[in-house]
Amino acid sequence: MATFLYRLGSTAYRKWPVFIAAWLLAVIGFGALAGAVSKPMADSFSIPGIPSLQAQDMQKKLFPDAKDVENAATVNVVLAAPEGHSLREAKYQQAAGALVKDLATVPQMPKTQIAPPVPAADAQYKMAVQGAMKNGAPKAVAEANAKVLLPLSADGRVGTITFDFDVPAVPDVKPATKDKLTEVLQKHAKTSGMQIEVNGQGMQAIPETGGSAELIGIAVAAIVLIITFGSLVAAGMPIIAAFFGVAMGMIGMYIATAFTTIGTTTPILATMIGLAVGIDYTLFILARYRAELRHTEDRAHAAGLAVGKAGSAVVFAGLTVLIALAALAVVGIPFLTSMGMAAAGTVFFAVLVALTLLPAILGMFKSKAFAGRVRRHKDPLDEDGRPLNNGVRWARFLGKKPAAIVALVVVLLGALAVPMKDLHLALPTDSTAAKSTTQRKAADLVAGAFGEGRQSPLVTVVDGSSLKTPQERVAAYNKVVQWAAGQDNVANAQMVAVNKDMSGAQVLITPKTAADDTKTEDLLHALRGGESGIESQTRTDIGITGVTAIQTDVSERLTEALPIYLAVVIGLAFLLLLLVFRSLLVPLTATLGFLLSVLATLGATVLIFQEGTFGLVEGAPLVSFMPIILIGLVFGLAMDYQVFLVTRMREAYVHGMSAREAVVDGFRHGARVVSAAAAIMISVFAAFILQDNSLIQSMGFALAIAVFFDAFVIRMTLIPALMYLMGDKAWSLPKWLDKILPSVDVEGEKLVGIHPELEKEPVLEDD
């Protein structure tokens, strides 16, 4: 592989116009294709086979016209009169009527007529009471139940207008439709005196990319690169290259929307990852190119060596990230698979850019690659004539008391991991959106006026087809209602639908708590735990569905998949490192270090974002798929730093240095670049904490602190301390295993002496 990469790098350097033109044509051509075929993005958190979807299938069988809650583009317009006033006042009734009239001008509106809250509530109340009494409910009970579901609060101050856009699924709602609806609502909010907000699946907000978060991350990355290379031109190369990688990854993602559903947060996650790894991978190769220029005056040869040596490590590091992200398919969750594949595509282009576009850019700049000097640095030499830098000083410091260092790191990260025991996962809802969004404001208005459970109903589907007479069936359905109403944390339970032949019914259960509250999850578990008992009593079949049930099932399936995925990634990490380092102890310590950094990261994220410690953010459950995504990404990044740092140690040990000297030499050559790469990763990820989206905030924080823990605490502190303690045993490998393992030339040893006529005596200073 190293030989192939050498030829690729040197060819890209010499024929730079061809390679740069090819990349430009690819961006333009595929960009045009994406513009022609892409569809809107939408969040679809669904997993085939979960109990709630099985219950939904039963519902569709008994009620063919029932709404598909997964795909329904539901919109909730929430109107609130000023404090002390009611929507029943003539002024506000007229304003609500004018609003409904203007809503008809919005594209993709339903064909059925919608009504303002007051007349809709009055008509619904009358029909609900009559229907309930027809099914045998006493008048008082019928009236009480009817009031619970009205689109008007008890005091008349808050009302809702609910409808579904006339589209097959949420992704089919056009951006122009959302814009027009928002425009109409804002116009009436200004003129009516009412507060008007909107939420629902049909109004899913798509977080914007290309904002301040990315710019801040890039600015910090630029400063780190300038310090690292001391050159303005060189500092700009990794950023330019990373932009190409991110652009191609985003284009590929938008093309993929024509074939599958892509979540609204996926572009930001892919941008975050693409910028970080794109800059890092090009940084590693560019640093190696500068080092090779100390040995040769032939810049094409130096570019080939840089791509052949550091590029081999980049390929391996990128491959580990790709495998980790692709392994998300193992857990069998479609939306997680698509998210992982989208992120993996961005990483793939980041690797491709580093191997082909960067050497082409170097070819374009030639001797000006390190122009624009802002500083010139020369490390002092130690007693053996080798560079004495901060990496050497740190390695020697760790070597003084390695056992104490190991104990300190384990205790520190172990303590940070403790809060993970309280990990609570849930899917994002309008109730957990940023307070500044109209989605959150609408949710808060509904919760305050109707109770938190109004937005987290559970639907119990009852199949009574095995019962012979309509009277038996209605009696069974009423028993189910009584059973549901008797559960803890139930605000109301009532029969809301019976099909024509009375073979099926729907019982709506309104909890007292919100969808992301653990008490609501406990209620769902209690209902399912009692299903068999009530089924045997009533001789019916029961299933529980609804948006809340589906989201809870998805979250629990993700939680169950977490240890499986973690085991897959840990096993994969051990095997890959065994292959690279040809050692048992090095992969073992590296893998355990990765596990420790992940647990500490999750514990710290629970502390800050779930518990709301320090008051930095409002406490809320962590998004269900965050831990799995975190594990996949941190695994890839951990392997990056392990490979770039420890392969230098292995190279020194193989060439005759003692185990202790090899650790120091690895830090001499690798610490500066790894530190710069980690600093860039941290800055790019941390900048996303400034986003309004809580999912992105928590992901940015978790990834940033994970990189800090893994790069600086694990790879540059714990691992070298352990290497000191293990000594020569670190590099031991059973002979039988050594024979069957294939040789992986990550450091490009086959390139040594490939063109001796182009070599010169090394210069121990920056160019």
Asked if 342 and 400 sit in the same domain, the reply is no
Asked if 59 and 37 sit in the same domain, the reply is no
DSSP letters, 421-439, are: GG--EE---GGGS-TTSHH
Residue 236, burial from CB neighbour count under 10 angstroms (0-12, 13-18, 19+):
middle
pLDDT value of position 7: 86
Amino acid of residue 300: A
At 106-150, the pLDDT tens digits run: 999 998 889 999 999 999 999 989 888 887 778 888 899 899 999
3-state SS class at 260? coil
- Within a domain: residue 261? yes
Residue 495: phi, psi to the nearest 5?
Answer: -80, 125
Residue 558: phi, psi to the nearest 5?
Answer: -65, -40
- Within a domain: residue 741? no
SS3 content of the chain, % helix, strand, coil (to 5): 65, 10, 25
Residue 509: phi, psi to the nearest 5?
Answer: -110, 120
- Could you tell me how far CA 220 lies from the centroid of its own chain? 23
Asked if 478 and 620 sit in the same domain, the reply is no
Q: Helices 334-352 and 232-256 sit at what angle, rounded to 10 degrees?
A: 140
3-state SS class at 502? coil
Asked if 472 and 410 sit in the same domain, the reply is no
**pTM: predicted TM-score of the whole model, two decimal places:** 0.78
- Within a domain: residue 746? no
Number of H helices, E strands in the chain: 26, 9
3-state SS class at 104? coil
Say what the alpha-carbon torsion angle 579, 582, 583, 589 is, to the nearest 10 degrees: -40
pLDDT value of position 765: 43
Asked if 246 and 190 sit in the same domain, the reply is no
Task: Please say whether the beta carbons of 261 and 336 come within 8 A.
Answer: no
CA angle 308, 312, 314 (to 5 degrees): 120
Averaged pLDDT, groups of 10, the chain, 767 residues long: 82 92 91 81 68 91 84 91 94 95 94 92 91 82 90 95 90 89 94 94 67 72 83 87 86 79 71 78 86 82 84 79 76 73 84 92 89 72 70 91 95 94 84 84 94 93 93 92 94 91 94 91 94 94 92 85 81 80 87 91 92 81 83 76 82 84 87 85 82 78 91 93 92 84 65 57 45
Asked if 175 and 70 sit in the same domain, the reply is yes
Last residue of a domain, one of 516, 545, 574: 545
3-state SS class at 399? coil
Matching residue, tokens 């892409």:
38
Last residue of a domain, one of 545, 573, 608: 545
| CA–CA separation, 47 and 52 (whole Å) | 10
CA angle 722, 727, 728 (to 5 degrees): 135
| CA–CA separation, 584 and 243 (whole Å) | 39
Q: Strand 425-426 and strand 622-623: pairing?
A: parallel
Asked if 233 and 329 sit in the same domain, the reply is yes
Pick the closest to residue 206 from 266, 288, 159 (CA basis): 266
Asked if 261 and 374 sit in the same domain, the reply is yes
Asked if 37 and 75 sit in the same domain, the reply is no
- Within a domain: residue 325? yes
Task: Please say whether the beta carbons of 651 and 618 come within 8 A.
Answer: no
Question: 87: alpha, beta or left, given left = phi > 0 and alpha = psi -120 to 50?
Answer: alpha
| CA–CA separation, 418 and 602 (whole Å) | 9
Asked if 612 and 667 sit in the same domain, the reply is yes
| CA–CA separation, 217 and 225 (whole Å) | 12
Task: Please say whether the beta carbons of 356 and 12 come within 8 A.
Answer: yes
- Within a domain: residue 748? no
Residue 567: count of CB within 10 angstroms of its CB: 10
pLDDT value of position 766: 43
Matching residue, tokens 């735990």:
529
CATH number of the domain where residue 287 is located: 1.20.1640.10
- Within a domain: residue 257? yes
Last residue of a domain, one of 545, 569, 596: 545
| Residue range of the domain that includes 621 | 392-422+561-731
- Within a domain: residue 668? yes
Cβ contacts of 65 within 8 Å, gap of 6 or more: none
Asked if 357 and 218 sit in the same domain, the reply is yes
- Within a domain: residue 482? yes
pLDDT value of position 413: 95
pLDDT value of position 677: 83
Q: What is the total count of domains within the chain?
A: 3
pLDDT value of position 763: 47
Asked if 183 and 248 sit in the same domain, the reply is no
